[in-house]
Amino acid sequence: MIPTTYYLILSAILFVIGALGVLVRRNVLIIFMCVEMMLNAVNLTFAALAYHFLQVNGQIFVLMAMVVAAAEVAVGLAIVMKVVRNKDTTNIEDVNLLKG
Amino acid sequence: MLPLFIIFAATAIVAALGVVFSRKPIYSALFLLVNFGTLAALYIMLRAQFLAMVQVITYAGAIVVLFLFVTMLIGGGELGDIRPRGSSLAARLTWPRLAALALALLLLAGLGYGIITGQLSNVQGSAVAFQNGSVQAIGQALYTEYLVPFELASVLLLIAMIGAIVLARPPE
């Protein structure tokens, strides 16, 4: 039997790696993938705690997070394609129209 | 069980690092696939079989494929934003990288504190209720207690689909 905290440590590490990617990378597609990774890390936390407390609610939350992630990816990638079509770049440093 | 967990956890972490440190988005997407696959395996170890299947079908099957399609459509050339050639260390330390460094150190400090004080060990669940799989339990909860969020999720997906189609339409 594996201690629940191991799962929590793993998901913390995965979350921080995802956050690192969002902060460090400038390629919009890779930033997007890192956001997905962070969502997955949180999902792992929910599943681990559902297992720990013997509650099915955590798994329902994971399901809802997956629905939101799917919607987010569909719309987000459409926006990315629009941006690339207009500005011909995947570097977010070049997308600064709203910057003050 | 523990060696299996260590193998999956190490694979997940290596794949996550691969996503962050790959030069080309295609490689990142493939590393992401590995990461999602190991997470599905971990879900099975947590007796969340339904979540594991949904993970494989939605994330590995739909989301990664969508990423690959878009990467190929817009030409996922490498950007050179990681490991830039010929710049000094001071020039590379921009504020997002400093923030990332601080975040990583915070994680290390937290984990170290937890391990030293012994708070991060020997907390176990007793998985009797999930012994026979959790699909039935999830279905029951989803169609009784969580019926309204479940239906709202379908509306959200419909709206996202319409939004994606409208956004990705070619300009007139």
Query: Distance (Å, rounded) from C-alpha B120 to C-alpha B37?
Result: 26
User: What tens digit of pLDDT does each residue of B20-68 get?
Assistant: 988 888 899 999 999 999 999 999 888 888 899 999 999 888 899 999 9
User: What tens digit of pLDDT does each residue of B61-110 get?
Assistant: 889 999 998 888 887 666 666 655 555 666 666 777 788 888 888 888 88
**Whether the predicted pLDDT of B168 surpasses 60:** yes
Handedness of CA A65, A71, A75, A78 (dihedral sign): positive
Does residue A44 lie in a domain region? yes
Q: Return the CATH number at A52.
A: 1.10.287.3510
Residue-range definition of the domain harbouring residue A32: 4-88
Contact A5 B120 (CB under 8 A): yes
Distance from CA of B85 to the nearest CA of A (A): 15
- Residue B84 pLDDT: 57
Helix pair B135-143, A57-87: axis angle to 10 deg: 80
Instruction: Assess contact for A75 and B67: CB atoms under 8 A.
Output: no
Contact A40 B36 (CB under 8 A): yes
Whether the predicted interface score ipTM is above 0.85: yes
List the structure tokens of B64. Answer: 């990664």
Predicted confidence pLDDT, tens digits, chain A (100 residues): 778 888 888 999 999 999 998 888 888 889 999 999 999 999 999 998 888 888 888 888 999 999 999 999 999 999 888 888 888 888 888 888 887 6
Does residue A100 lie in a domain region? no
Does residue A96 lie in a domain region? no
Domain ranges for chain B: 1-78, 133-172
Min mean pLDDT across B14-18, B58-62, B116-120, B133-137 is at B116-120
A and B: number of Cβ contacts within 8 A: 221
Assign domain B1-78 one CATH number from 3.40.30.10, 1.20.120.1200, 1.10.599.10, 3.40.50.360: 1.20.120.1200
